[in-house]
Amino acid sequence: FVICIEREISEEFIENYFKRVKHIRETPEEILSPFKDFLLKDFKVKTKAEINSWAINQAYLTLGTMLTVCAAEEIDSCPMEGFMPEKYDELLSLEKHNLHSVLVLPVGYRAKDDQFSSFKKVRRPLDDVIIEY
């Protein structure tokens, strides 16, 4: 999977999202309007960098859900950063869809002869990573 963000989140994008929510959920306008109005106002004052950062955070939420589903279904997966997003964008013609790649998630099943699959996981002790008060 190539997880992408919108290159630009415009007023029209936000409006269309709420139209879709209203259509699918049949949610009354008076319930949707306060949040929609807040987002429209908030995104107007955010810089492009702030919106980009917000969108990337949304992509990580998606990644977390996908990793959880893969684990539950016993499908191997490995989240990846450090790839060349511009090359992915070019190869997949993402710009014409107003998208930019930010994460990659290969999924599948490991080879039966993968000697590393039986190695014990090496993790820091819980006492090193969890602080109890």
Segment 81-112, tens digit of pLDDT: 899 999 999 999 999 999 999 999 999 998 88
- pTM value is 0.82
Q: Measure CA 75 to chain center.
A: 19
CA 50, 51, 55, 56 torsion: positive or negative? negative
Per-residue pLDDT, 49: 96
- Cross-strand partners of 101: 4
Whether residue 59 contacts residue 4, with contact meaning beta carbons closer than 8 Å, is answered with yes
Residue numbers in the chain where pLDDT is lower than 70 = none
Token pair 């602080």 is at which residue?
A: 131
Per-residue pLDDT, 117: 82
Per-residue pLDDT, 121: 87
- Quote the CA–CA distance of 51 and 96 in Å, as a whole number: 20
Backbone angles phi, psi at 40, to 5 degrees: -60, -45
Computed over its alpha carbons, how large is the radius of gyration of the chain? 20
